[in-house]
Structure 1
Amino acid sequence: MLRVILINILLFLLPFLVYAAYVVWVKGVAPNRAMAGAPFLWLVIAGLVVLFVGLFTLVDFTGGDREGRYQPSVLEDGVIKPGGIN
């Protein structure tokens, strides 16, 4: 779960990191002043777009077979057989 949260945070912060790198590298601003005067509203919107595109891609292209049936975990002979999509 922590991995998912960290990926989401990284996806949201990606536009901020790209903007800061651009300002420092191209405009020659000191790294501690890179975000001064930044267009925060546009960066937040871009971060949300990147986050939602990333989440949509993750949901759409991962997981089990969409045509399969879910088989829950069962206890047989004292051993738990894991569930899954068959």
Structure 2
Amino acid sequence: MIRIVIENVLLFLLPTLAYLGWVLIARPETLERTPGGRIRPMRVLNDAPLLWLAASGTILLMVVLVAFGKTSGGRPDQTYSPPIFKDGKIQPGHIE
């Protein structure tokens, strides 16, 4: 169950993570050095279009959930037979 929650959260945050990566690569001046020599990002999210990032994350999450919901496979009364190795060949999985 936690895997499903983590996948959904990552799908929602994917546009924001892509934006942050793009900003840090395209604008290296957004990185600052501390007196100890460590590099830390400045407050990049202050200038970020958070509303658009949240909206695109929500749309991406909804599209993926609908796509997986529509391609679930067979009816509830059917059973899935996984692929098997028989006579030196792999027989593909199927729904009976």
TM-score, normalising length: structure 1: 0.70
Residue 65 in 1 paired to residue 45 in 2?
A: no
Partners of 1:32 and 1:17 in 2: how far apart?
Answer: 15
- The alignment of Structure 1 onto Structure 2 pairs a total of residues equal to 71
Unaligned runs of 5+ in 1: 72-84
**Identity within the alignment, %:** 37
Q: Deviations over 1:12-52 (max 9, x none)?
A: 00011000001000122222422121111101100101110
Moved over 3 A (4+): none
Moved more, 41-50 or 25-34: 25-34
Name the structure where strand makes up a greater proportion of residues: 2
Shift of 1:70: 6.1
- Aligned CA RMSD, in angstroms, stands at 2.1
Partners of 2:61 and 2:53 in 1: how far apart?
Answer: 12
Unaligned runs of 5+ in 2: 32-40, 80-94
Q: Which residue of 2 aligns with 1:13?
A: 13
TM-score, normalising length: structure 2: 0.63
